[in-house]
Amino acid sequence: MATTPRDADRAGLLRALEDDRSSVRLRAALAVGTAPDARFVDKLVERCAVEPEFFVRDMLTWALVRFPVSLTLPALLRETSSDRAQARSQALHTLSKIGDRRAWPAITRALLSDPDDEVAKSAWRAAVALVPEGEEPALAEVLATQLGRGERNMRLSLSRALVALGEVIVPVLDAASTSADPRVRAHALATRRLLHAPTAGFESAIEEAKRIVALTGAPGTEGSSDADR
């Protein structure tokens, strides 16, 4: 069978998506998203798992969002259980952008506590975007198990996810504020401050929380300070 111009264009775009030059890959992803062709879906998802450049990954996600959900959802859901961390992270990121709540069952406790920081952050954002009405308190409880995790950017991502759930997070923050772990207590207090004072910066919220933790000491003790432990 003779190759048609359309087939030749498709073959060229497929090659371009794997080009050594990131600018070529970026243009190819833009072209695919501009004129969606169902035959590109698997390639876009596959490329998300290995693409090293942030801006190209973002364009790949943009392209996938342009396709009908019926075409992209099955492939993305499969990727959430991939052995490759970037595949899980990018699939979750794309699902959060698509916003179809049929993906909610894929947001498991394992993903929300994934040992890879980028996967966990993507799972938190996806969970907040996809959580069904009435499931917010249960989600807040799972997210609260990650309080105190990581450095500033990690903690800020979790705080933003929790705050997006609204007042349902107050009970879990109250519980976490009595944790024996000073990092958990400080993170919980800072998140509660952000909930009630959204304009407060995260750094100032954390510093104030650390002062409170230092003054109150560990639960069940008097005068001890473990804020910097």
Superfamily grouping for domain 41-130: Leucine-rich Repeat Variant (1.25.10.10)
* Residue 227 confidence (pLDDT): 35
Q: At 3, is the pLDDT very low, low, confident or very high (cuts 50, 70, 90)?
A: very low
Cβ 79 vs Cβ 87: under 8 Å: yes
Tens of pLDDT, residue by residue over 84-109, are 999 999 999 999 999 999 999 999 99
Helices assigned H by DSSP within the chain:
5-16, 22-34, 41-48, 54-65, 69-79, 85-98, 109-112, 117-130, 136-144, 152-164, 170-176, 182-196, 202-216
Eight-class DSSP state of 21: S
Cβ 188 vs Cβ 147: under 8 Å: yes
Domains of the chain by residue range: 41-130, 134-229
Q: At 208, is the pLDDT very low, low, confident or very high (cuts 50, 70, 90)?
A: low
Span 123-144, average pLDDT: 97
* Residue 157 confidence (pLDDT): 95
> Which residue has tokens 């304009």?
199
Write the Ramachandran bin of 224: left for phi over 0, alpha for psi from -120 to 50, otherwise beta: beta
Q: 211 versus 103: which is more confidently predicted?
A: 103
78: three-class secondary structure by DSSP: helix
Span 118-129, average pLDDT: 98
Cβ 171 vs Cβ 139: under 8 Å: no
Span 33-37, average pLDDT: 93
pLDDT tops 60 at residue 183: yes
Cβ 227 vs Cβ 214: under 8 Å: yes
Tens of pLDDT, residue by residue over 56-70, are 999 999 999 999 999
Non-local CB neighbours of 107 within 8 Å, separated by 6+ positions: 92, 123, 126, 127, 130, 131
